[in-house]
């Protein structure tokens, strides 16, 4: 498995460092970092060693090792990160760099009058050749003429600083994007509806597949579970068995109930396999003020097999009634044989 690294941001001194993802907290938003003065941080990072008890927490930005290097460079406005600097904290500039002033704006008449060429330092880093006055005596003495200035160095410095600003803004943009993604992920997992409603036609379940889908929905959605308990609680019933009968009538048809047994005997589906439905049934019983004192898991497990058997018996009774009474028939041949036997006798 490839080792994964990232960028840690330290608010106490506004610095950043490449760290190991083994130091990440469970909330994926913070990391542990060795205390000040810890030796061989580079080795700790590269080996993905687990954090020690003395490590402190800091904000974490998720990245691969290569991207972490890039981000660290961008964040500190530098272009080099040697292996010795892995894990070490590096300061982030608190402000964007200032721009140089064009040579034509830094000159005054005294400088022009006393020098044919002036080298003006640019932020103590870049020297630039400014415009110089012409000394042609044929020109109007009341007008100072200037020859074109070579501002290549000035342009190069401006571009360099623009690049630095761009890198800083990119890092800020990535940080904001990471924060936005984390917030969106957290909000997407929290749904707070005013009321939860099952789709029309959900109850009673008319086939075993719809019952399984209901179980899956309850497994995934806490609000659906809460609504399921509310529905089952409203079924009523003065005894545990009566309440379970009414709940099953709400949940499924007798045709679906007949396909189940409590523990899966006779090659039927075990109703115990519906974990969330069983929990909802128990909570529904415990919310029934008439029977909550006796609403235990054991009582529920005693009532469910009886409810399933009664549902199967009712279904068989209905089927017999639909088929009509059974009338015995007489084979004509057998009748003739019987008549002939009687005559011989």
pTM tops 0.85, yes or no: no
Per-residue pLDDT of 139-189, as tens digits, reads: 555 555 555 556 677 778 888 888 888 878 888 888 888 888 887 777 666
DSSP conformation class of 114: H
Q: How many CB atoms lie within 10 A of CB 96?
A: 12
In contact, 323 and 313? CB cutoff 8 Å: no
Per-residue pLDDT of 46-55, as tens digits, reads: 777 777 777 7
- In degrees and rounded to multiples of 5, residue 275 shows phi and psi of -65, -50
Cis ω on the peptide bond leading into residue 225 (within 30° of 0)? Answer: no
Residue 157, classed as helix, strand or coil, is: helix
Name the residue ranges covered by the structural domains of the chain. 5-91, 103-187, 208-323
User: Confidence class of residue 272 from pLDDT cuts 50, 70 and 90?
Assistant: very high
The pLDDT value recorded for residue 77 is 38
Which of 238, 204, 199, 217 has the alpha carbon at shortest distance from 311? Answer: 204
- Strands 5-10 and 30-33, by their bridges, are unpaired
In contact, 10 and 16? CB cutoff 8 Å: yes
Side-chain-side CA neighbours of 266 within 13 Å: the count stands at 7
- Strands 269-270 and 5-10, by their bridges, are unpaired
């Amino acid at each position: 498995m490839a080792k994964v690294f990232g960028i840690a941001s330290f608010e106490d001194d506004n610095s950043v460092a490449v760290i190991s993802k083994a130091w990440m907290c469970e909330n994926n938003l913070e990391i542990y970092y060795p205390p000040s003065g810890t030796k061989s941080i580079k080795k700790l990072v590269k080996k993905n060693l687990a954090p020690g008890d003395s490590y402190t927490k800091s904000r974490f930005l998720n990245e691969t090792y290569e991207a972490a290097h890039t981000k660290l460079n961008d964040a500190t406005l530098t272009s080099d990160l040697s292996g010795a600097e892995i894990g070490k904290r590096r300061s982030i500039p608190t402000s964007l760099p200032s721009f140089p002033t064009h040579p034509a704006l830094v000159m005054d008449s005294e400088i022009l009058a006393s020098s044919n060429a002036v080298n003006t330092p640019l932020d103590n880093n870049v020297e630039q050749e400014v415009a110089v006055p012409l000394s042609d005596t044929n020109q109007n003495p009341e007008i100072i003429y200037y020859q074109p200035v070579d501002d290549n160095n000035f342009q190069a410095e401006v571009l360099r600083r623009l690049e630095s600003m761009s890198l800083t803004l990119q890092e800020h943009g990535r940080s904001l994007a990471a924060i936005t993604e984390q917030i969106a992920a957290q909000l997407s997992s929290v749904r707070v509806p005013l009321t939860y409603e099952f789709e029309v036609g959900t109850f009673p379940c008319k086939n075993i597949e719809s019952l399984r889908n209901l179980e899956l929905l309850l497994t995934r959605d806490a609000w659906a579970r809460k609504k399921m308990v509310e529905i089952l609680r409203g079924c009523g019933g003065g005894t545990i068995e009566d309440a379970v009968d009414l709940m099953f009538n709400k949940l499924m048809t007798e045709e679906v109930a007949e396909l189940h047994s409590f523990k899966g005997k006779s090659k039927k589906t075990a109703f115990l396999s519906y974990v969330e439905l069983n929990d909802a049934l128990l909570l529904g019983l415990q919310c029934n003020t008439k029977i909550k004192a006796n609403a235990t898991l054991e009582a529920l497990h005693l009532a469910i097999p009886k409810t399933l058997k009664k549902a199967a018996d009712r279904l068989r009774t209905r089927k017999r009634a639909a088929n009509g009474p059974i009338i015995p028939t007489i084979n004509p041949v057998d009748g003739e044989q019987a008549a002939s036997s009687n005559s011989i006798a």
